[in-house]
Structures are given as structure tokens and as C-alpha cells.
Amino acid sequence: MSSQIIESHRENAEIYTDPSLCKVQSVQLLQKFNLPKGLLPLDEIIESGFNEATGFVWLKQTNKTEHKFREIGRTVSYDTVVTAFVEDRKMKKLTGVKSKELLIWVTVTDIYIQDPNSGKITFGSAAGLHRTFPVSAFEEEEKNNLNE
């Protein structure tokens, strides 16, 4: 399904396939939309794309990855393809991202910063669950955080 939606947004999209450029572009995109730079801590991105007209972004990586955000003690799983529609301080219709809540994985579908002065970022699921954390927990972390 994600490959079909990516194909429908490829025309006029800015697409990168060089892994070093993909990483840079993904961080720049987060900055452009006033989201924390460490929100998508993916290192093996093989394709990234952004269609400015539709706000659609996609990131393809070689393998699924897990990342533990130490400050909040949460593990997040990133599938081989992550997609979203982005706008200022928001990611909507997010696919490919799950957060571990107690013993189950919950699919994250929305991420937003309601009030930039609050220092809080909210994550929502299709089931209506929402969790709010400090934005600072999602700033870039040191590289030694892998597989903790």
C-alpha cells in the first residue's frame, strides 16, 4: 500500500537516493516544519522524497529499526517505509511508526506541537490514544544510543 501512495506523489517531488543526502534531507525537512530534528532517527535511508505541493514525505530504509528515546524511556519502531503528510508543526496520516506502550506496540498516526511555547509534542494513534512528551526528548541524541 505504501508503494502505491508513494507512486501517486512522485511527480514533481524532490527525491534523493544517496544515503548521506537522504539523512540530511530528512533532518532539514523536520527543521523546515518546526519539528524536532531527532524525531526520525533513521540512519540507513536509501530513498527520501518530499512533494511540496501535497505535503507528502516518504523515507525508505534498508531494514526496520528500533530506537529508544532515553529521556522518556520509550522504544519506537520504524518500518522499512515511513510516510506522512507534513505541515507546520504536524505530521498527519503517518505510517510505519509504532511506539511500545507497556507490552503492546501502538501505531502512531499523528504527531503535532499544538503550542510551540509549551515545549510539548503530542503523539496520536488511530484508536484515539494520545501521549504528550517534552519536545526536548526528540532532539538529536548521541550516536551511542543504538540498540539499547
Q: pLDDT value at position 120?
A: 97
Q: pLDDT value at position 141?
A: 58
Q: Which residue positions in the chain have pLDDT lower than 50?
A: 142-148
DSSP E strand stretches across 4-89: 14-16, 45-51, 56-61, 65-69, 74-87
Q: pLDDT value at position 146?
A: 43
Q: Which residues contact 7 (CB under 8 A, 6 or more apart)?
A: none
Q: pLDDT value at position 148?
A: 41
Within 13 Å, how many C-alpha atoms sit on residue 85's CB side?
A: 6
Residue count of the chain, please give it. 148
pTM for the model? 0.90
Q: pLDDT value at position 87?
A: 97
Q: How far apart are CA 138 and CA 148, in angstroms?
A: 16
CB burial string 62-86: b at 16+ within 10 A, e below: eeebebbbeeeebebbbbebbbbbb
Q: How far apart are CA 77 and CA 68, in angstroms?
A: 9
Q: pLDDT value at position 51?
A: 97
Q: pLDDT value at position 2?
A: 78
